[in-house]
Amino acid sequence: MGGIQLNFINNSNDTNNSEIVIFQKNVATNYDELAVAWLVIRYCGQGDNHPFEFPSNMQVGASDSYGNFTPQLDAQNGQLYAMSLTTSGDRLRSMGAGTSSKEVQVLNMLPKGAINASIYKAGKLLATKTSIAPQQKAVFEFKPTLWIGIVSQIVQGEVMNSAILSSVNTELSLLGFASADIVMTGGGPGKSATPFLFHLENIVMS
């Protein structure tokens, strides 16, 4: 399974060295869940471009209340993973099929202590669910879309607050894509400034 080759192009009139955030939303849970800044593009000047790959495959990892982090396992939709206590300590293992073909599910099978479950793409944190109590399950489901917007003072890999999330309202569908350019336009100083817009160009279908 390959990824989608994307290329961010700054064709805007931005004069503020704006930061661009790209992320996905976990649609398996309630909509007020906070999303993670998967990719933050900084200092991409006018006319510059920033190529990146959005992989089709993803990994799942977990951490326990003792500060231990598991290795990241290749994850697939429809699969269940469980954190359990073994003779060698807490371990995350694949448990076969989950209850939904669209979700990656992580079950806390520890006798005590909450866990955090996380999904990664390209080695970067994509989504996380914290404080999963024993016998509780985290569920992750993603549409084939990316959210993109202008932000400030945001850290890649950290959870974004609701104010930032509500300011990002561009959702780009990547369904069936092999590659595409993401072009940013708009911006500018003073009263002549226009809203920043993002659109796809040079789309190649897979």
**Whole-number CA gyration radius for the chain:** 19
Is pLDDT of 31 > 70?
Answer: no
Domain boundaries, the chain: 4-55+143-205, 58-139
Is pLDDT of 30 > 70?
Answer: no
Is pLDDT of 14 > 90?
Answer: no
pLDDT, tens digit, 9 for 90 and up, residues 85-139: 999 999 999 999 999 999 999 999 999 999 999 999 999 999 999 999 999 999 9
| Residue 9 banded pLDDT, cuts 50, 70, 90 | very high
Is pLDDT of 52 > 90?
Answer: yes
Is pLDDT of 2 > 80?
Answer: no
Characterize the bridge pairing of strands 104-108 and 39-41. unpaired
Answer whether 171's CB lies under 8 Å from 54's CB: no
Tokens of 63: 């951490």
| Residue 63 banded pLDDT, cuts 50, 70, 90 | very high
Give me the amino acid identity at 202.
Answer: N
Answer whether 6's CB lies under 8 Å from 54's CB: yes
What's the CA gap between 74 and 60, in Å, rounded? 6
Percent of the chain with pLDDT over 70: 98
Q: What is the average pLDDT across 179-197?
A: 91
Answer whether 117's CB lies under 8 Å from 132's CB: yes
Predicted confidence at residue 134, as pLDDT, reads: 97
Mean pLDDT of all residues belonging to the chain: 94
